[in-house]
Structure 1
Amino acid sequence: MASKRPAPDIHPSRQTQVPRDPPRKRQKPNNLSGSKSFKKARPVNELKTSIRNLRRLLERDGEESEGKKPLPPKVRIAKERELASAQQELVESQTAEKRSKMIARYHKVRFFDRQKATKRLKRAKKAMKEVEEDAGEREELAREVDECELDVQYAMFYPLDVPYVALYPSAKKVEGSDEDGKSTEVKRQGDQEMRDLLRKCAQSGKLDALRNGKLDKEGNYKITEDAAVDEAKPKKQTEKNGKRKAEEMAANESGDESDGGFFE
């Protein structure tokens, strides 16, 4: 059976007479179409310039000069609101910039502290399982497990916008050897006040708020718009959940001899 011949090409003189499907329009992503598009943050220098110009405009409007008409009340109110909004946006931009610098500066130290704390937590739990008869030693190991869990929370939930105080100092500077030639383990250090605050926040379920800089030194919410929202939310993270996170970190980490992984 002979195959069908391909359809002949349309002669250029008849192309305008042949109906064709209209070209398809390229659809924009949902986040870029309509009123739901995201608003890009203005640069800090642009915000400073806008604030300076608005201040000059409002200050000159208050001065008395011949031949100069003052701004209408509605325009002045609009400019004052624009100035307040720009000042708030500038504060938020500077806070975000400071936070980013802190994260980039201390992410490596925090990562290694979390690695060491997780390994110590696993060793403490293993030692506690092996001890059954001696109640005094078991109680001491239980306290060590609690401290190791707090160490993991220290590395994970230490405020990101505050200079990080290392939990374990550099091994080259502190770690030595005893009389038998065995290396001694680096002692736990860090910020004791922050450890107390972390323990308090773990009991009240405020670890995430502490990490994101929403709490003061007493563990109370700062006066911000997000504070009322966070207070209204149910407390999902209790002291038990904080310990559960520490256990998950211990389970997800690699073996005791491995320091691989991604920085956080």
Structure 2
Amino acid sequence: MATKRQAPDDADSRPAWKRHKPNEHQRRPNHGKKSFKKAHPVNELKSSIRSLRRLLDRQENLPADVRVEKERALQTAQRELAEAERAKKRSDMIGKYHKIRFFERQKAERRLKKARKDMKACEEGGKKKEELERKVANAEVDLNYALYFPLDQDYVKLWPTKKNGNGEEGSATPEVEGAEPARQGDQQMWELVKKCTKEGTLKDLREGRLKQSGADDAEVDRSSSKKPKKAGELITSKRKKVLTKSSGSRDRVEGKTEATEDDSGDESGGGFFE
């Protein structure tokens, strides 16, 4: 008995150019990653503030509790936006002046080390010893200036450099041979660093708490003098105005009725006695 011939395989029967080939250069799946602009919290806060303002401005007939809730949400979003912008500015300033602060810190450390070495080597007393002690104290302030300058402000160099005609960097001020370069920088900030060094508040200065606290106090004084109304106070004031208007109209109506009654009484009384 003859054996049956097997059916040909589909894969073998198809030509090679028709067979399905996997795509080796297939794109990676995008799992909904947002761009930097969309994912940044500042933009989200700005859009929420804009939408809340539009809602409060256009919808005049909102219920009182809903309006209070939206106004509180608006105040919270504005506060968070201010904090986010402050943090962004701080991070930008840190990245911008990181290299400059690093080199100035190294230079200040070398100057401080040299001043301490000269003071230890000095065996004389009197004015020379006092001058060396003053140099050591100033060198310590220079180092703290480079370390604890406020991070949210533009850094002002202590020893600025400028390029010569050959393209080489040199000090901005002409120097005497053998003399150290003159200190420049922000003199008011240098004095503030010196004061904070004595008081032990350098970290607060670096984080910007000293100047921010002063600004906040000024804002509190201004706000305390004016005392801006909150959302709930605005609503209660409106209700009070409505109540006063209604009570005034009611008093006017009652006064009119009393006047008419008095007039009618006078007329009737006069006719009775006559």
- What TM bracket, shorter-length normalisation? 0.5 to 0.7
Deviation at 1:156, TM superposition (A): 0.6
Measure the CA separation in 1 of the matches of 2:76 and 2:142.
Answer: 41
| Structure 2 CA distance for partners of 1:167 and 1:94, relative to 1, 3 Å | same
**Larger helix fraction of residues:** 2
Measure the CA separation in 2 of the matches of 1:115 and 1:42.
Answer: 36
Instruction: Tell me the residue number matched to 1:191.
Output: 186
Instruction: Tell me the residue number matched to 1:59.
Output: 57
Q: Higher Cα Rg: structure 1 or 2?
A: 2
Would the aligned equivalents of 1:214 and 1:222 in 2 still touch at CA under 8 Å?
no
SS of 1:215's equivalent in the other structure is helix
- Picking from 42, 45, 64, the partner of 1:44 is 42
Instruction: Tell me the residue number matched to 1:89.
Output: 80
Residue 63 (structure 2) pairs with residue 72 (structure 1):
yes
Measure the CA separation in 1 of the matches of 2:138 and 2:64.
Answer: 62
Instruction: Tell me the residue number matched to 2:126.
Output: 135
Deviation at 1:50, TM superposition (A): 0.5
Residue 105 (structure 2) pairs with residue 110 (structure 1):
no
Residue 206 (structure 2) pairs with residue 207 (structure 1):
no
Deviation at 1:194, TM superposition (A): 0.3
Instruction: Tell me the residue number matched to 2:216.
Output: 223
Would the aligned equivalents of 1:125 and 1:145 in 2 still touch at CA under 8 Å?
yes
Measure the CA separation in 2 of the matches of 1:109 and 1:184.
Answer: 23
Segments of 5+ residues of structure 2 without an aligned counterpart are 1-38, 163-168, 218-274
Instruction: Tell me the residue number matched to 1:174.
Output: 171
Measure the CA separation in 1 of the matches of 2:202 and 2:184.
Answer: 20
How high is the TM-score relative to the length of structure 2? 0.58
Instruction: Tell me the residue number matched to 2:153.
Output: 162
| Structure 2 CA distance for partners of 1:118 and 1:56, relative to 1, 3 Å | same
| Structure 2 CA distance for partners of 1:148 and 1:209, relative to 1, 3 Å | same
Segments of 5+ residues of structure 1 without an aligned counterpart are 1-40, 63-69, 225-264
| Structure 2 CA distance for partners of 1:139 and 1:177, relative to 1, 3 Å | closer
Deviation at 1:177, TM superposition (A): 7.2
Would the aligned equivalents of 1:216 and 1:222 in 2 still touch at CA under 8 Å?
yes
Superimposed CA distance per residue, residues 32-90 of structure 1 (whole angstroms, 9 cap, x where no aligned partner): xxxxxxxxx9611111110000001011122xxxxxxx222211111111100111111
Measure the CA separation in 1 of the matches of 2:179 and 2:199.
Answer: 36
Would the aligned equivalents of 1:124 and 1:145 in 2 still touch at CA under 8 Å?
yes
Instruction: Tell me the residue number matched to 2:138.
Output: 147
Superimposed CA distance per residue, residues 83-138 of structure 1 (whole angstroms, 9 cap, x where no aligned partner): 00111111111111111111111111111111000111011001001112232111
Instruction: Tell me the residue number matched to 2:270.
Output: none
| Structure 2 CA distance for partners of 1:157 and 1:45, relative to 1, 3 Å | same
Measure the CA separation in 1 of the matches of 2:89 and 2:95.
Answer: 10
Measure the CA separation in 2 of the matches of 1:222 and 1:47.
Answer: 24
Worse-superposed segment, 189-198 or 129-138: 129-138
Measure the CA separation in 1 of the matches of 2:182 and 2:100.
Answer: 16
Measure the CA separation in 1 of the matches of 2:125 and 2:197.
Answer: 30
Deviation at 1:188, TM superposition (A): 1.3
Relative contact order (alpha carbons < 8 A, sep ≥ 6): 1 or 2 greater? 1
Between the two proteins, the alignment pairs up a number of residues equal to 172
| Structure 2 CA distance for partners of 1:146 and 1:104, relative to 1, 3 Å | same
SS of 1:173's equivalent in the other structure is strand
Measure the CA separation in 1 of the matches of 2:195 and 2:95.
Answer: 27
SS of 2:170's equivalent in the other structure is helix
Deviation at 1:173, TM superposition (A): 2.9
- Cα-Cα RMSD: 2.2
Measure the CA separation in 2 of the matches of 1:132 and 1:189.
Answer: 31
